[in-house]
Amino acid sequence: MHLPQEGDFIDIHNHGGVPAPGIFILETLMAHEGRNPQDVPGIAYTYGIHPWFLQRDNYQKQIESVRLNAENPSVIAIGEAGFDKLRGADPDLQRSVFEEQVEISEMVKKPVVIHCVRAWDELLSVHKRMKPKMPWLIHGFRGNVKQSMQLLSKGMYLSFWFNFILRPESSQLIRAVPENRIFLETDGADVGIIEIYKKVSSDKEIDVEELKSLIFSNFKSFFA
C-alpha cells in the first residue's frame, strides 16, 4: 500500500493517472472496467460502482467485484459510488447499489468517495438512515456555499470539480469551505494538480506549501 508523504501534492480523484515525483494520486477503478489494483509507487486506489455504468443485468457481478477488491490493501476507499439524475440506471437501483457499497465500506472500515449529480436529497436521506461511521467525500463538487455547508454539517469532505475551481466565480466557495474539509482533484483531465493548488492557495490567501500541509493533514484524518 502506498500513501502520500508530507510535502506531496495530493490528487484525490484521478482516472488513468501517471506517477510523478512529489505527486500522490488516488486512482479510481470502476467495477465495470475490469481493471485491478497494482503495486505502483505514488498511487493508491478507490474501487466502486459508478452510477453511469450500472444496469440490472450487471450489478450483482459488480457488487461481488467490489467486495473482493475492497479487501485489497492498495484499495483505501470505496467508490466512486453514488447518484446521477442525468445519466445512468433508474433511481431505485442507484440507491440500493449505493447502500450496498456503504455497507461494504463500513465492513472493511474504508471511507466512501461519492459521485452525486442533482441528487443531494437522496444522498442525505441515505446518510441519515444508515448513519455511517466511515467518512464520505464528495468528489467534483461545484455547488453553492449553502449546499456545501449542509454537506459539511454531516461530517462530509469536499473535493472541488477541477474545471469549476479554476474559474474566478469559484473563489467565494473556496473561501467559505474550511481548510480542514477540502481536497483537490484533476479527475483525469488534462490539467495539472499543481495549477489547481495554486488557484486555491491564492483564494485562501495562504502559500502553496501551507495548503499542501493542510490537505496532507486532511488525508490522514479522512483515511484514519
Convert the pLDDT of each residue in 200-220 to its tens digit.
999 999 999 999 999 999 999
For residue 3, is it within any domain? no
pLDDT of residue 57: 92
For residue 195, is it within any domain? yes
**Looking at residue 13, which CATH number applies to its domain?**
3.20.20.140
Q: Which three cell numbers stand for residue 21?
A: 515525483
Number of domain units in the chain: 1
**d(C-alpha 50, C-alpha 29), whole Å:** 9
For residue 129, is it within any domain? yes
pLDDT of residue 45: 98
pLDDT of residue 100: 98
For residue 137, is it within any domain? yes
pLDDT of residue 156: 98
Question: With 90 as the cut, is the pLDDT of residue 173 above it?
Answer: yes
Amino acid present at 132: P
Q: Euclidean distance between the first and final Cα of the chain, in Å?
A: 14
Could you tell me the pLDDT band of residue 136, with boundaries at 50, 70 and 90? Answer: very high
Q: Give the domain extent around 150.
A: 9-222
Per-residue pLDDT reduced to its tens digit, 138-172: 999 999 999 999 999 999 999 999 999 999 999 99
**d(C-alpha 127, C-alpha 24), whole Å:** 29
For residue 4, is it within any domain? no
For residue 208, is it within any domain? yes
Question: With 90 as the cut, is the pLDDT of residue 195 above it?
Answer: yes
Q: What is the pTM of this model?
A: 0.96
Per-residue pLDDT reduced to its tens digit, 86-106: 999 999 999 999 999 999 999
For residue 2, is it within any domain? no
DSSP state of 88: S
Question: With 90 as the cut, is the pLDDT of residue 1 above it?
Answer: no
- In percent, the amount of the chain with pLDDT more than 70 equals 100
Question: With 90 as the cut, is the pLDDT of residue 47 above it?
Answer: yes
Instruction: Work out the average pLDDT over 51-64.
Output: 94
For residue 33, is it within any domain? yes
E strands along 87-133, which residues? 112-117
Evaluate whether 116 touches 84 at the Cβ level (below 8 Å).
yes
Question: With 90 as the cut, is the pLDDT of residue 16 above it?
Answer: yes
